[in-house]
Amino acid sequence: MANSITVPALLTLVLCLISSTVSTSVDNHPIRRGGGHMNVIDRCWRRNRLWASRRQRLASCSAGFAGKMRNNIGPGLRWYVVTNPGDDPAQPRPGTLRYGATMIPGKVWITFAHDMQITLRSPLPIKSYTTLDGRGAVVHIARGAGLLLNNVHDVIIHGLHFYGNRAATAGTDGDAIRLVGSRKVWIDHNTLYAGEDGLVDVTRGSTDITVSNNWFHDHNKVMLLGHDDGFLEDRNMRVTVVFNRFGPNCSQRMPRIRHGYAHVANNLYDGWVKYAIGGSMNPKVKSEANLFIAPSNHKKRSPGERRRMGSNGSGSR
Binding residues for ligand NAG (CB under 6 A): 194, 218-220, 249, 312, 314
**Minimum distance of ligand NAG from residue 113's CB (angstroms):** 31
**Backbone phi, then psi, for 254, in 5-degree steps?**
-125, 55
Nearest CB to ligand NAG, comparing residues 19 and 311: 311
Check: CB of residue 97 under 8 Å from CB of residue 82: yes
Q: How far is the CB of 52 from ligand NAG (least distance, A)?
A: 34
With helix as H, strand as E and coil as C, how does the chain read?
Answer: CCHHHHHHHHHHHHHHHHHHHHHHHHHCCCECCCCCCCCHHHHHHCCECCHHHCHHHHHHCCCHHHCCCHHHCCCCCEEEEECECCCCCCCCCCCEHHHHHHCCCCCEEEEECCCEEECECCCEECCCCEEEECCCCCEEEECCECEEEECCEEEEEECCEEECCCCCCCCCCCCCEEEECCEEEEEECCEEECCCCCCEEEECCCEEEEEECCEEECEEECEEECCCCCCHHHHHCEEEEECCEECCCEEECCCEEECCEEEEECCEEECCCCCCCEEECCCEEEEECCEEECCCCCCCCCCCHHHHCCCCCCCCC
Which is closer to ligand NAG, CB of 24 or CB of 249?
249
Closest distance of CB 249 from ligand NAG, Å: 4
CB of 219 to ligand NAG, least distance (A): 5
CB distance 237 to 225 below 8 Å = yes
Is 43 tagged catalytic? no
- Residues in the chain, total: 317
Report the alpha-carbon distance of residue 231 to residue 227 in Å, rounded: 8
Comparison of 145 and 194: residue with beta carbon closer to ligand NAG: 194
Among 253, 256, 258, 306, the one annotated catalytic: 253
Please report how close the Cβ of residue 250 comes to ligand NAG at its closest, in angstroms. Answer: 8
Are the CB atoms for 244 and 213 separated by under 8 Å? yes
Of 178 and 219, the one with the shorter C-beta distance to ligand NAG is: 219
> What's the closest the beta carbon of residue 36 comes to ligand NAG, in angstroms?
34
Of 68 and 284, the one with the shorter C-beta distance to ligand NAG is 284
| Residue among 92 and 195 whose Cβ is closer to ligand NAG | 195
Question: Which residues form the catalytic set?
Answer: 253
